[in-house]
Amino acid sequence: MTRVSPSVFSVRCSLWSLSLILTAGFWLNCGSLFAEDNETDSPLIAYVGTFSSPLRDVLPTQVDLPPGTGEGIHIFQVDRKTGAFSLLGVHQLGTSPSALVINAAGNRLYSANETDHVGEKKSGTVTSYAINRQDGSLKALNSVESGGAGPTYVSLHPSGKYLLVANYFGGSVAVLPVLEDGQLGPATSIFVDEGKIGPTRAQNAPPGSFAISGHDRTHAHMIQADPAGKYVLHVDLGLDQIFVSKFDQTRGTLTPNDPPFVSFPPGDGPRHFHFHHNGRWFYSIQEEGSTVVLFDYDPATGKLVERQTISTLPEGFAGSNFCSGILVSPDGRFVYAGNRLHDSIAIFSIGENGELTYVTEVWTQGNYPRSFNFDPSGRFLYVCNQRSDNLAAFEVDQKSGLLKFTGQFIPVGNPSSIVFQDLGKTQE
């Protein structure tokens, strides 16, 4: 790791008093929202994944062509009070570590290397890293094939024993075992998506939209287990479907559930999803339809039942927009949805029955917000503006859910993913 600045790890001398305020309507695990109550002396680290090399052998319909201005995994220390970033260094990589995830113990980071090409099938790779608990630096442990081309998303099974990978260009998902030392083993299960490709025009697209990207072939875009780890769900944008698989935690294998998938309006292109903290409400965002769909989720059967569809765009919008990420707020009261080209974060309030009400949208202070994430306190939201080569920091109003730009821009080439790790967090 280069450009390390030891001074950023100096320990502050003052101690903050701790208090916990619980109010009606808040979840019991929401104490982390009150940042001043959770101030600690340990460093808070942010890891930012980037596109660090031009995409190779891209499909003719691929509209997302980052030039590769990132340098790998950028490492920052975060000021817990102001949300400001200080660069510690960069773990140099030329294979576009565009998606990151950290294990529960906080000592391993995994990256999907989207532009890596390995073997005859030009498979992507996934790399395991050890996190230095003193300074946040990374040490590569090993890399394995991702089970398909263009890995674009990684998540960990709740057991911590498996890494789940979605391969966008390969139209497949894979299960990789996590070994005792944190290294990754060869895939125990690979699921290749099959079905009828949806139309290039989304049924729910805004008037005049030319948001056409993934309806040329299968494109697995996201994969994640349900909170109990009993089922694994993954999105295929090209098929306009979310697949549900039973997960065998002993063998690390996927088998189709009954029913095996839910379908969306033709062309809408589901991209990402997020479970509500109660495990019963499931929110999916559609890249080309610019919608959020609420499903009721049955954790016993893995069944999804659609209940509401709402636009991510303000009333009267016309033209092209590509949706990106979606997050439920840490307190479970709001949903945030990313719009690219419109370049905004749409904010929704969550009703007592889980249904959404559009509140407003906030400009991301940049171009093409690929993803965003809360810091551990929930006080700040950071947006990865891919095409404008920066992150923008927003303060979250805990009562209204509104976002206020802090004035802080963090320069990063082609940022794609951001995750956080408190180095003082007790390992599990």
What is the pLDDT averaged over residues 365-394? 97
The structure tokens 């994944």 sit at 49
CA-nearest of 126, 137, 120, 76 to 101 is 126
Range in 92-96, 230-234, 388-392 the model is least confident about: 92-96
- Give the per-residue pLDDT at 344: 98
Selected residue with higher pLDDT from 102 and 22: 102
Q: List, in sequence order, every residue forming a beta bridge with 162; answer none if it has no partner.
A: 177
- Give the per-residue pLDDT at 15: 31
Q: Which two tokens stand for residue 228?
A: 């109990």
- Give the per-residue pLDDT at 43: 95
CA-nearest of 239, 230, 199, 364 to 297 is 230
Classify residue 277 by its DSSP letter: T
pLDDT band at 63 (very low <50, low <70, confident <90, very high): low
Confirm if 204 and 323 have CB atoms less than 8 A apart.
no
- Sequence-distant contacts of 310-317: CB under 8 A, at least 24 apart: 310/348, 310/356, 310/358, 311/204, 311/206, 311/358, 312/285, 312/337, 312/339, 312/346, 313/206, 313/339, 313/342, 313/346, 313/361, 314/358, 314/361, 317/206, 317/342
d(CA 235, CA 246): 15
d(CA 384, CA 396): 16
- Give the per-residue pLDDT at 27: 36
- 156-191: pLDDT as tens digits: 999 999 999 999 999 999 999 999 999 999 999 999
Q: Which two tokens stand for residue 273?
A: 């999803």
Confirm if 125 and 144 have CB atoms less than 8 A apart.
yes
d(CA 95, CA 124): 9
Element (DSSP H or E) covering residue 110: strand 108-118
pLDDT band at 214 (very low <50, low <70, confident <90, very high): confident
Amino acid symbol at 234: H
- Give the per-residue pLDDT at 39: 52
The structure tokens 């949805």 sit at 337
d(CA 301, CA 41): 44
Q: Which two tokens stand for residue 314?
A: 């303000």
- 401-411: pLDDT as tens digits: 999 999 999 99
Q: List, in sequence order, every residue forming a beta bridge with 347; answer none if it has no partner.
A: 336, 360
- 217-236: pLDDT as tens digits: 999 999 999 999 999 999 99
- Of the chain, the percentage scoring pLDDT greater than 90 comes to 82
Q: Across all residues in the chain, what is the average pLDDT?
A: 90
Strand bridging mode 189-192 / 172-177: antiparallel
d(CA 9, CA 43): 6
Strand bridging mode 270-275 / 253-263: unpaired
